[in-house]
Amino acid sequence: MCVCQTMEVGKYGKNATRSGDRGVLLEPFIHQVGGHSSMMRYDDHTVCKPLITREQRFYESLPPEMKEFTPEYKGVVSVCFEGDSDGYINLVAYPYVENEALEQDDMPERDQPRRKHSRRSLHRSSSGTEHKEEKPGLASDSTESIQETKSPRVDLHLHSDVPFQMLDGNSGLSSEKISYNPWSLRCHKQQLSRMRSESKDRKLYKFLLLENVVHHFKLPCVLDLKMGTRQHGDDASEEKAARQMKKCEQSTSATLGVRVCGMQVYQLDTGHYLCRNKYYGRGLSIEGFRNALYQYLHNGIELRKDLFEPVLAKLRSLKAVLERQASYRFYSSSLLIIYDGKDSRAGMFVERRPEMRLKRVDSSVPESLQDGGGTEPGSSAQPKVDVRMIDFAHSTFKGFRDDPTVHDGPDMGYVFGLESLINIMEQMREENQ
């Protein structure tokens, strides 16, 4: 029984999972490598996350030239708990109805009227059945039904054909191989626990709908970088500001303007993803950061030298764009660098190494890699890469939401991080020519 009122809605997105004939069943996004809010899969091309009003308004106010480097903003949905036939709790998305759902920061919007996004959020990529309208249950019945259900569901309906392995602090492989990035499960459990603890007081939650920026990639290799020399927003308490400044001082955020927040990279020799999390990134020296970047660009057999130029081109373009954004500050935002672990030479590697040929039998190498790769034979095209800015809950610019603090010039802490990243990659390219 859902604790929220259902309503007639539009069509489902491509490969969205239905919950009965009513809502879209949200699943953890298996390629989340960093962050603390759980990213959820809405459909193949769309993810969603708990809405923070400042971030929503920032996406709505993005300068046109920044949109190439950010996920497409697709609107808002209402999310609620719903028990399944086995007594587990799931998260289900419905069209946003004004004034019914609450955002994560739970702060009333006083300085400007709320805007509806239900029509935009229902523009989906393929057809499906219409939802049927239900009469809402009584609040007391709804709350009681939630409390009587089992623990929040944490087993993932979706999984990758490629196993993930987390590297421990000693750089050795963990023994456990799982079918999703372990950080995504951690975030999902924490998110469900927070929402379930509030279920007596809150029936609906607002989630942002955003483009799934890895959906173009067969085997997405993702590097999540926390950018800038400062991570706390202008509205942070003294305690939080001090905590964030200490993290920066003790990491490469201070020395380079960038630190590793998470990573997954596909390994051709073993057929699985290697994963790192933010705790690993916080402890890195400058040389350690260089080594982490090298590891991200290494497929287990060789360094992907073909990635240097396309990634550097994207980083230089982004730097030029941000240098033109006067008064903008992107405190605590991250930068995703993405490439495809399935490249045109994968089939060659499988044929070349005897131990790899054996893995055709035990299927450690996915069948999708055994067909010779991701581009046409003889293609010399550069590999597809992507660079996207995410997480704008603490961003600001002149005139934004009547913020009292106005900054001059571009965000030089962020630009410094980009310069460091570009310099390290250029040095790595020169050393490995």
Q: Compute the distance between CA of residue 303 and CA of residue 311 in angstroms, rounded to an integer.
A: 14
Q: Which helix (H) or strand (E) is 183 found in, with range?
A: helix 182-197
Tens of pLDDT, residues 199-236: 665 578 999 999 999 999 999 999 999 999 999 999 99
Give first-to-last CA distance, the chain, whole Å: 61
**Residue 53 pLDDT exceeds 60:** yes
CA distances from 129 to 13, 44, 124, 175, 179 (A): 11, 18, 12, 44, 31
- Helix (H, G, I), strand (E, B), or coil: what is residue 146? helix
SS3 36: coil
How far is residue 325's CA from residue 338's CA, in Å, rounded to a whole number? Answer: 24
Beta bridge partners of 263: 223, 276
pLDDT tens per residue across span 96-116: 877 665 665 543 333 333 333
Which pLDDT tens digit goes with each residue over 284-298? 999 999 999 999 999
Question: What pLDDT, on the 0 to 100 scale, is given for residue 71?
Answer: 98
> Are 40 and 207 a contacting pair, CB within 8 Å?
yes
Global pTM value: 0.77
Q: How many CB atoms lie within 10 A of CB 204?
A: 20
Going by pLDDT thresholds of 50, 70 and 90, the confidence category of residue 176 is low
Mean pLDDT value of segment 40-49: 95
**Spatial separation of the C-alpha atoms in residues 93 and 18, rounded to whole Å:** 10
At 140 the pLDDT is 33
Distance of CA 119 to the CA centre of its chain: 24
Q: How far is CA 119 from CA 77, 135, 152, in A?
A: 10, 22, 30
Distance CA 393, CA 195 (A): 19
pLDDT of residue 76: 96
188-192, 312-316, 322-326, 335-339: least confident range: 188-192
pLDDT tens for 230-256 read 999 999 999 999 999 999 998 999 999
94: pLDDT confidence band, cut at 50, 70 and 90?
very high
Average confidence (pLDDT) over 28-40: 88
Checking DSSP bridges between strand 220-227 and strand 258-267, what pairing results, if any? Answer: antiparallel
Q: How far apart are CA 417 and CA 433, in angstroms?
A: 24
**Res. 138 pLDDT band, cuts 50 70 90:** very low
Q: Average per-residue pLDDT in the chain?
A: 77
What secondary structure does DSSP assign to 220-248, as a single string? EEEEEEEESS--S-TT--HHHHHHHHHHH
Percent of the chain with pLDDT over 70: 66
**pLDDT by residue (tens digit) across 395-432?**
999 999 999 999 999 999 999 999 999 999 999 999 99
Res. 381 pLDDT band, cuts 50 70 90: confident
State whether residue 249 is helix, strand or coil: helix
Q: CA of 47: how far to CAs of 105, 198, 339, in Å? A: 19, 23, 19
Q: What is the pLDDT of residue 15?
A: 65
Task: Please state, for a pLDDT cut of 90, what percent of the chain lies above it.
Answer: 53
Q: List 199's β-bridge partners, or say none.
A: none
Evaluate if residue 129 carries a pLDDT over 60: no
Q: What is the DSSP string of 281-326?
A: HHT--HHHHHHHHHHHTB-SSSB-GGGHHHHHHHHHHHHHHHTT-T
pLDDT at 148 over 50: no
Instruction: Find the largest Cα–Cα distance for the chain.
Output: 68
Q: What is the pLDDT of residue 28?
A: 87
CA dist 384 and 395 (Å) reads: 29
Q: What is the pLDDT of residues 55-74, one digit of tens each?
A: 999 999 999 999 999 999 99
pLDDT at position 186 is 80
